[in-house]
């Protein structure tokens, strides 16, 4: 069980790092570029079956979901670089989070 927990934590480090960058990089376009580079490096180092599918699904599902949350007033963003609704970097963060969740489930099931 300890080994599984450690593996999940290691898989989560890029997402935690991406989240930590948010208050320090206020330019959404630069942050999106950095996120793209982080995701690219992570997938270059390790690619598993269906990673790209989860990456793409996470990207589009979260744009739709966040748009619904915003339209109902559940969420409010001060940065509106994507469709005038949300920060451009947000779907990129979520998309890689989907990959990490998929990998974490795989670790748990092993």
Residue 2 has pLDDT above 90, yes or no: no
Using an 8 Å Cβ cutoff, are 89 and 37 in contact? no
Range of the structural domain that residue 85 is part of: 2-109
CA distances 106 to 8, 57, 60, 65, 95, Å, are 10, 18, 22, 25, 17
What are the pLDDT digits (tens) for 13-43?
A: 999 999 999 999 999 999 999 999 999 999 9
pLDDT tier at 91 (50, 70, 90 boundaries)?
Answer: very high
Beta bridge partners of 82: 86
What are the pLDDT digits (tens) for 35-62?
A: 999 999 999 999 999 999 999 999 999 9
Residue 1 has pLDDT above 80, yes or no: no
Number of domains composing the chain: 1
Using an 8 Å Cβ cutoff, are 95 and 13 in contact? no
pLDDT mean across residues, the chain: 95
Q: What percent of the chain has pLDDT over 90?
A: 92
Predicted local distance difference test score (pLDDT) of residue 25: 97
């Amino acid at each position: 069980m300890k080994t599984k927990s450690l593996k999940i934590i290691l898989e989560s480090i890029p997402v935690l790092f991406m989240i930590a960058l948010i208050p320090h990089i206020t330019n959404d376009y630069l942050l999106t570029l950095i996120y793209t580079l982080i995701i690219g490096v992570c997938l270059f180092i390790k690619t598993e079956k269906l990673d790209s599918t989860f990456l793409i699904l996470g990207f589009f599902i979260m744009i739709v979901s966040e748009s619904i949350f915003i339209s109902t007033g559940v969420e409010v963003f001060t940065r509106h670089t994507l469709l005038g609704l949300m920060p451009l970097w947000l779907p990129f963060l979520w998309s890689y989070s989907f990959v990490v969740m998929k990998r974490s489930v795989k670790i748990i099931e092993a």
